[in-house]
Structure 1
């Protein structure tokens, strides 16, 4: 329609003239089409943050340094007070900044050598990645300089943030909160983590769409360990996901080709060695060795604002830092202390385009723990029992959970297992993989990873707890899982525990003469066996569970030969009925009726919001985990559990929904502190916007650099 003179077009010269005349017009059309279809993956000329209406930053970097700086800015805009407090603690100066309550925190950080090691880690970065960490810190400081009035006065003392602070925070979090923490040291025989998680990978053969799917669902306390959702785009990367506040890269993420999530695995990355003291030293292989010592000035802010200073001395043996206890002297040995490449590994995981590339990054083994659950657009799924697992000369998992003799080199591990030694399964025959903090052996059915093929200290032989059994059951029972079904399963509040013993409990209670016990049986018989907001009977059952002894209540204990169906049955029905009568009396006294709805007792509270909750303790076999704390009025408030959730299908384009229940900001007066909580209460996820067209259609704010 543009060429009206056919005679002129028949000659080569005519074509050339017409083409030169129309070239600007054609170029403008091409440019318009390119811009209109442009996704956030194209490289911009400058760096910007596009904030959507849920407070999610979509970082659009002209280069990697620009993206890191913008990410530092974004995290500070959303979480300045929390971020600075976390960095102050990671410096080991929190007591100097904020007083006596932080003394134990500072001593732990200094004992573990966090600030000194952060300097070494910073120097160990390659020049390019060191510049990225610099840029992240620059972004934090730039925001703070421009918006000082939005930051609490008491945390401004941490400014300016140094790049080493970022690495101190990473260490404190990864090595000395997750791998080992003060609480687990206090109970040396229990290697506890403050976190839990669910993760699924579903292959095309079990997906209704024929596309692989991934479910990410970490559980953390709703306090200092907050997830932060973001999209980071720069040349070579276009990743969407989440990380913990203060970490400069995404820890759980997906791109157009692949994605992964983490779960806290049954990983033993630290051990406590008992030292035999002699002549101001300790015995080791028949000889007395001197302790290494380091002294630190520990300043403590007093109520009048003055500083009290004391000298804090840390001793170390060949095993590691020494922790003195009442009856013994222990030295802690912790993996990962030379793993300075953790951030670079996470960054490159998000840049990978296929399974081979992804595995090459994983083989670095810089990440000291966490299961990796993976899926991609080519249809591959994988479960990796990831972590730095020490090569030990003796003992099983239970042995290494206890206190280890420290007077001999025979118990001192010095190297870790390589990648090829770790439990792993790719594309299992079942077409599905799950982990709910159970050992790797139960990731699918039929079993694809055999415990007998690995050293007995690699991971425990069991048990498989009820939440993991519920997880596996939902996947095993559905031959064709749609994306919507996966989301619905994620929100399941069904109590797997109730399915094992409730019928016996009801039957035994119905035979009692006691009127209260019979009424309790009637309530439980009518209960839907869920912890939804309107479930009646769940409160009574929960009170009963709190009154029983899990170690003795079951007739058939857990058995690794039947991991998905045991434990089962009541060992002592009469004892169980007595516990039910006691629980019923407590419920009726507290709430005036036995069949009070779950959501009337368990609440979601934030600011002016006070909503009925759903979900509960994973020990009851609830997949939708919510942990509660008493509020003093007979009610319980959500204090942890489900935090970041992402459901991803690797279709073209990728389909994704996500949620951070407590919102993507913790700054006072931010509209995003709890704006996602109503969705959480309704068991809904929100759409993930990834293209420029989607983001600009839901744009709240734009920041250009």
Structure 2
């Protein structure tokens, strides 16, 4: 439009004439530009994946179906071997493919009826969403067909992937790993229990006057728990976030209008029933009922490549499948969510929502079996929903339902689920902030906005509020104007709330009672910054002391719901606490040669080909920056779980966002994006999120056009 500047406007009248002369032409140009830009954003001619320099796929789909296909392709490029292995396990045929190590997994999947239910769930999808699942599976298969050299030979046996495989995997992850931990019922062990932090900050507590959201799940750094970060753009959607590998929609996400995260909530969605066996059946309401029996023929691959066969007979009662037979007793399992096939549709509709009303409309379907929903939006609303399928129970509190339930009466068998309006939630609390660190919903903010007495006693436990949650609430409550940068700094806090609570009692007791070694240990603790940063000296000693005591009995004042953020406190038995410190000091000095060894010298980030000093630690110590460690065999400990995907979002215009996928956004061999983000992790930083096409093309690594 340079011609306007070239025109000489000698008078207001002449200027008006020139404007009238050019106005139609200007309007036509503006109209053309607007229409063309809209057509580019809403209906591009091609579907493409723009890969940025951190291996994040930014998918531009000409329609939703094409976006799903591209997302399947993208997941294969980043995690193909893992994805196929997970789908093979979800079929219940992993032992047939890869040997006896997978036999317990197959038995668990088949006992829970996963493959059969996957077929039913696929039929229950809407025709549109069924086409989306078909497209995602097709993207996986097309990639594998075009790049067979990039997929391990041993996992190619899973191909071709079907849409039912996707739903099988979804069930295995959500219902039979998160809702029901198989480690508790089938001796399938995990390295660490899933956890999470989540914050929502209202404009009144935000330095910018805009709502903010912090997403921070803590999951094992392996297997079905790995996060995959992506952006999905197609007509009607432009969402950025992450999902677990193999899931075809974003599970934690934000768009220009709103965002949400999930935390693992104190939700009880399964129960174990003890059956009274009688005459080859079980006693129920005074009558003997026969078991329903289903027999599976399991194939198991031997080391020589041959297959052997063994039978698996699954007995079922009115409660559900029988999972154990011990000492003449049978335990049957009842699990929520098996009649809710539209989890993926709900997540998708959450991501395309434009405001709180639309978002809640999606939530009200109650397809997602568990997880807290922490929400914020550009209009300034924040929300905490204790989401989940909560059985309507006739009796008992939360603790009662954690035990083995009598299975001989219909009085203990639940069949109904609480509707959305029954679930604990708060929207726009007076405090201006919400937090959840896997604590019950009653402590989401202060003053309390959700009262436990207003809900059934089985809805969630009354307490306690553990130290990580106390630390979480403390940071929010003590800062009345939190900037985006401060929120990120708080996220990386390694301050040990437990140390703040107990050292004022432990140090004086040790100074009075201890020998020379104990007094030296006391000096180390007194100088320590009470953090678990890589260079913190004293954190290792304190951590060893914590391992030597029972946190349930060490305090003289137990946790009290009337003082949830200042209890527990005090030493119940100072003498034994000091002895535990002496023992810890002996172990530390023997193992590392000094009592004040740096945290990062002992606790390491060993992932891929990297071995770096760690920061952060176990949430039980009240550390908000959670990293879980396992012994590495050389006196050191290596990170195996914890901060996995992190996103900090401010709903300004435009949206401001930073994120990190700690272990990188790929696992395929030779990918440059295995552990390429771990350096940010070490420095306690997040990396920029690129969402606009200009930002993405500026940091473009690869383009794939379909």
| TM-score w.r.t. length of structure 1 | 0.96
Distance in 2 (CA, whole Å) between partners of 1:325 and 1:427 is: 49
Distance 1:45 1:509, change over 3 A: same
Task: Spell out the pairing of 1:182-201 with structure 2 (5 A cutoff).
Answer: 182-186=182-186, 194-201=193-200
Using the TM superposition, give the Cα deviation of residue 509 of structure 1 relative to its aligned residue in structure 2, in angstroms: 1.3
SS at match of 1:579: helix
Distance 1:596 1:466, change over 3 A: same
**RMSD between superposed Cα atoms in Å:** 2.4
Distance in 1 (CA, whole Å) between partners of 2:467 and 2:38 is: 46
SS at match of 1:364: coil
SS at match of 2:582: helix
Distance in 2 (CA, whole Å) between partners of 1:290 and 1:455 is: 34
In structure 2, the residue matched to 1:97 is 97
Distance in 2 (CA, whole Å) between partners of 1:273 and 1:289 is: 15
In structure 1, the residue matched to 2:590 is 589
Distance 1:590 1:605, change over 3 A: same
CA contact (8 A) 2:42 2:62 kept: no
Using the TM superposition, give the Cα deviation of residue 41 of structure 1 relative to its aligned residue in structure 2, in angstroms: 4.8
Distance in 1 (CA, whole Å) between partners of 2:465 and 2:177 is: 24
Using the TM superposition, give the Cα deviation of residue 160 of structure 1 relative to its aligned residue in structure 2, in angstroms: 0.5
CA contact (8 A) 2:108 2:186 kept: no
Task: Spell out the pairing of 1:180-579 with structure 2 (5 A cutoff).
Answer: 180-186=180-186, 194-224=193-223, 225-327=225-327, 328-512=329-513, 514-579=515-580
Using the TM superposition, give the Cα deviation of residue 605 of structure 1 relative to its aligned residue in structure 2, in angstroms: 1.6
SS at match of 2:513: coil
1:703 aligns with 2:704: yes
Distance in 1 (CA, whole Å) between partners of 2:86 and 2:393 is: 35
1:603 aligns with 2:604: yes
In structure 1, the residue matched to 2:115 is 115
Using the TM superposition, give the Cα deviation of residue 551 of structure 1 relative to its aligned residue in structure 2, in angstroms: 1.6
Distance 1:597 1:15, change over 3 A: closer
| TM-score w.r.t. length of structure 2 | 0.95
1:396-425 C-alpha deviation (Å, 9 max, x unpaired): 000000000111000000010000000010
Using the TM superposition, give the Cα deviation of residue 511 of structure 1 relative to its aligned residue in structure 2, in angstroms: 1.9
Using the TM superposition, give the Cα deviation of residue 549 of structure 1 relative to its aligned residue in structure 2, in angstroms: 1.0
Distance in 1 (CA, whole Å) between partners of 2:523 and 2:530 is: 13
Structure 1: which 5+ residue stretches go unaligned?
none
1:294-337 C-alpha deviation (Å, 9 max, x unpaired): 11110000000000011211111001011123232011000000
CA contact (8 A) 2:513 2:575 kept: no
Distance in 2 (CA, whole Å) between partners of 1:592 and 1:259 is: 49
1:36-75 C-alpha deviation (Å, 9 max, x unpaired): x889954311110000000000000010000000000000
Using the TM superposition, give the Cα deviation of residue 126 of structure 1 relative to its aligned residue in structure 2, in angstroms: 0.6
1:495-530 C-alpha deviation (Å, 9 max, x unpaired): 000011112111111123511000000000000000
Task: Spell out the pairing of 1:9-48 with structure 2 (5 A cutoff).
Answer: 41-48=41-48
CA contact (8 A) 2:243 2:251 kept: yes
Distance in 1 (CA, whole Å) between partners of 2:162 and 2:599 is: 47
CA contact (8 A) 1:178 1:194 kept: no
Using the TM superposition, give the Cα deviation of residue 569 of structure 1 relative to its aligned residue in structure 2, in angstroms: 1.0
CA contact (8 A) 1:40 1:233 kept: no
Distance 1:441 1:17, change over 3 A: closer
Distance in 2 (CA, whole Å) between partners of 1:28 and 1:427 is: 44
CA contact (8 A) 2:205 2:480 kept: yes
Using the TM superposition, give the Cα deviation of residue 610 of structure 1 relative to its aligned residue in structure 2, in angstroms: 1.4
1:119-165 C-alpha deviation (Å, 9 max, x unpaired): 00000001000000000000000111111101111101000100000
Distance in 1 (CA, whole Å) between partners of 2:117 and 2:555 is: 48
SS at match of 1:511: helix
SS at match of 1:330: strand
